[in-house]
Structure 1
């Protein structure tokens, strides 16, 4: 699957950071991770730092799938409101899901400090009502979050205008948000995995997976065999190729990054993630070198050729929306791209085994707008499953949830 179009900023900015070898021989290990993006990197790091012998295989270069196209807004705020999740799965589960994402941001902050040079920055997160009709829903969301200890406040129209310089009927301001360079972090995490005795191979494609009672055999397209005890499929949106049923809808999201803007032009936007209540939503953040990174205008297109043809037009449309909100900003889309992502019906991920492949093959489907924070949660959840331990989110994030949706 061709997962992106155009010139993703992270790959252009960083280049190919490390060359990993191909796997061209028969091999054995404890856990195989299929997928060399940020999700695979976080899972490999979690397992290897707890003593598991991990082998990662990626069919492209590491980080060159959807991770290179990520805009990497780190939020605990799930695309589905806590209020709506509470109605569907109970308030305790909804709160637990939100708190897990909040904890994940703090975990990422610790990892970033350990790794260094991954452009981690803390931000506030401004979630604004796109129209008057959305105000009541956002206020109900605010109340539930406040009841469960989240540091959020309500801003009236005049406060949004005076502080952030644009018109909106109201907004939730959250204190916990962040941003990161996901491409660089993936590479550095994989280097840590290798330093601990793990192995990372790129340009290594899986042909088929053959689980048995004794273990799992993975046959590569080059004919080599890789035997292991457990497998984690963290191949992003291509992971669904190993499932007998669709669990998410593939969509395309579009993004661009500007040239560096004057410090005074960005003002408080340098320290704020901004997104809206409309669906699909406009979202934006700054980069460490003062660029504005803007995304949104998602559509249902997942045919690469059609997605490719829309990149420039979509970027121009997003730029026009930003200039409508902030007329003083001169927005020039310097690098424009699009990426395929998957969206579940409830906004939650799936982690763990599926009945079709048995208990030794786990999926890591960190789908939706919280992909990176979900991956942190999923890494700990999958380690618990592999080690035979319980995890409080194992049931909610399992494929058993599909039955409750039917």
Structure 2
């Protein structure tokens, strides 16, 4: 990981990511003069400026707009200009839009509820437009945010990634976003990595977020909380969800948990598996007693290094790729028109190599799709590694050697 420079000081980027509170004053001064920080991933060229972005009480570093391709490929601020993102499709009716000022997200969940004349609660009325925008599920938003932050990419230069890194990358992308018309920092709290030295600051920041979740004059304001799940335990009235970054509990009905178990089955089955992680986006509201009630949620399965995965077998493959310091990406579906979506793409081979993890053998539709993708790869001369989990142990799968000296 490279160094960054601001306020007359050069420090490792990782330290800024791990300890954001330590650098608040210096980043505040640099935000005023000269108005940016500098990434030192390259030498002999003009310094690469970084945006200093405020989110809540802290400041974070983000890549300069349209400048991501200038960074080294193993730099956190590198943006591959050849990678198409879900927000780059140019559809003004899309649920998640990339704008010059940041993401603009329309969720299918209401963040503000108002009582109707009959006393029931309904969504806040929306402003009509000539062409109505679609809306995104919590899971679609979570997956898109993860991809925008580059957390579906592994550069091969490290063997681990912790929550502090995820938090920093996520905040760099979401800092200026709008969610259902509201500023992201007012409605979305991304949990900070726990640090005993900053316990009071972390708790105060979260308490300030919770204080905005009010019910007043028939209007209820909800919020979104993003963190890694450590436990889902039954209670007398339902279930309590705990996030690894805090001791706070989030209470959910049995019906919601049962729905989540069906909807996010792979993630739910991974609880207790030390080789995997589960990240959740919780839609919460505060009860009259001050508890946080979960009214909806999305759960995303990840590898140990927080690479998103679609099954526990993909987790095993991702963990192996990270352990072997391979450079790879986990693709996400950009549009229904995608005709090729491998489980992983090795980016340190020439040409790039697709990796497929086959775990639903015998299912007619799955087998047909498998044959279709194999034919497409053959026609396009794309090399592939295929792991059939029923016929081969993971350690027996032969991966092509890395042929690119600098990971990408």
TM-score by length of 1: 0.24
Computing the radius of gyration from Cα coordinates, the structure with the larger value is: 2
Question: Higher helix fraction: Structure 1 or Structure 2?
Answer: 1
TM-score by length of 2: 0.24
